[in-house]
Amino acid sequence: MDGLFGLDGATWDIILAVITALIKAFVIVNGLLLAFAYMTLTERKVLGRMQARFGPNRVGPFGLLQPIADGIKLAFKEDITPRQANFWVHTVAPMMALIPALIIFAVIPLGPEMRILGQPWTWYVAKINVGYLYATAIASVGVYGLVLAGWASNSKYALLGGLRASAQVISYELAQGLAAMTALVLAGSLNLYEIVNQQVASGLPYALYLPFGLVAFVIYVIAGVAESNRSPFDMAEAEGELGAGFHTEYSGFKWSMFFMAEYVNMINISALATVLFLGGWWPIPTDAPGFIQGLGPIVFLIKIGAFMFMFIWLRATFPRLRFDRLMSLGWKVLLPIALVNLLLTSAVVALWPLGVWPFAQ
């Protein structure tokens, strides 16, 4: 493409890279929202089956058009801002919840780097050397959506719901971070692609680095459920006490943005857990021939799907925790265990050569 429009090859490479990134971002954002829509259907159907009923089955074959009907209904609902509410903050809050949830996925490596038709192809938007920190930093910004929604609504239910939600998210971030640190210490890298690659190369995902890897994995998943404000940790929207929690005063599309943020956050947490502890596209080798490499993203998506099913299963199984129990679980149980676990893992990694796990098999 040299000389086209008077631009040299290097400039064209940059333009091409930007266009590729834009297309990938477009596909990922729409894919996440589509996954959100069908996740709501899956959740209702699975919950229905678990409670010995059918779930939605009227709109389209097997109820498959239900999410579309729901979406149309939500988009055309009246958007109400309470007169006493702070208009600007009330409007910005749902965006501050949804946008961080959508941009985290940029660093998730869905599959191994490969060549399609001779051209190099990557299954991520960005490969940055602080990938995990980027994900946590952006996730912690999502808390603003909850806090501001609670404050701006000028309602006691919303305020208490927002406070509860954000206190919970901040508390469980610590245990989650320490559990993730275990995987980061094992990999010796913050780059998510590197972390997956290490696990695939050693043939063992970090969740199977017994015993510490498994402990960290369990803590990470529990904290992840709490982080996304899902049942049994959905104190923020305990109907009996708080109405709908921080989004009590929201309706129409602004409400559905909170709804989307919750489900996209679940997908993000599943994807990060897959990267950190389940080895991403393991057992597909990173340097396999092209066709087998192409199975990598499929394996990855199956793992995410398993996590999402677990989220639904938990919701159908457990009753909601009391708020003080929830806090003491986070601070007095998960945090100390995660800390000791991290120290022991670090000791093992420091004493044995890198990449060798003495307790394997």
Nearer to another protein, 147 or 236 (CB): 147
In order of 17, 53, 293, the CA distances from 176 in angstroms are 34, 35, 31
Tokens for 332, please give them.
């007095």
The minimum distance between CB 141 and another protein, in angstroms, equals 6
- Pick 28 or 143: Cβ nearer another protein: 143
Contact between 182 and 342 under an 8 Å Cβ cutoff? The reply is: yes
For another protein, the binding residue among 28, 41, 147, 221 (CB under 8 A) is 147
Give the nearest distance from C-beta 272 to another protein in angstroms: 15
By C-beta, is 93 or 266 nearer to another protein? 93
Q: Is 155 in the site for another protein (CB under 8 A)?
A: no
Query: How far, in Å, CA of 122 to CA of 128, rounded?
Result: 13
**Shortest distance, position 7 Cβ to another protein, whole Å:** 15
Phi and psi at residue 177, in whole multiples of 5°?
A: -60, -45
Contact 225, 265 (CB under 8 A): no
Among 35, 143, 284, 334, interactor with another protein by CB under 8 A: 143
User: Which of 140, 288, 294, 327: binder of another protein (CB under 8 A)?
Assistant: 140
Question: DSSP string of 193-210?
Answer: HHHHHHHHHHTS-GGGST
φ, ψ dihedrals at 149, nearest 5°: -60, -45
Minimum distance, C-beta of residue 120 to another protein, in the bound complex (Å): 23
Question: By CB under 8 A, is residue 151 in contact with another protein?
Answer: yes
| 8-state DSSP, 259 | H
Task: Give the C-alpha distances (Å, rounded to integers) separating 348 from 212, 240, 354.
Answer: 10, 47, 10
By CB under 8 A, name the one of 63, 109, 150, 245 that touches another protein.
150
Torsional sign, CA 149, 151, 155, 158? positive
Q: Site for another protein (CB under 8 A): which residue of 50, 59, 128, 337? A: 128
136 contacts another protein (rule: CB under 8 A): yes
In the complex with another protein, the residue whose CB is nearer, 30 or 129, is 129
Q: Report if residue 167 touches another protein, rule: CB under 8 A.
A: yes
Under the criterion CB under 8 A, does residue 154 sit at the interface with another protein?
no
Residue nearer to another protein on the CB measure, 187 or 312: 187
Q: How many CA atoms lie within 13 A of 229 on its CB side?
A: 31
Alpha-carbon distance 341 to 216, whole Å?
7
- Point out which residues bind another protein (CB under 8 A): 86, 89, 128-130, 133-134, 136-141, 143-144, 147-148, 150-151, 159, 162-163, 166-167, 170, 190
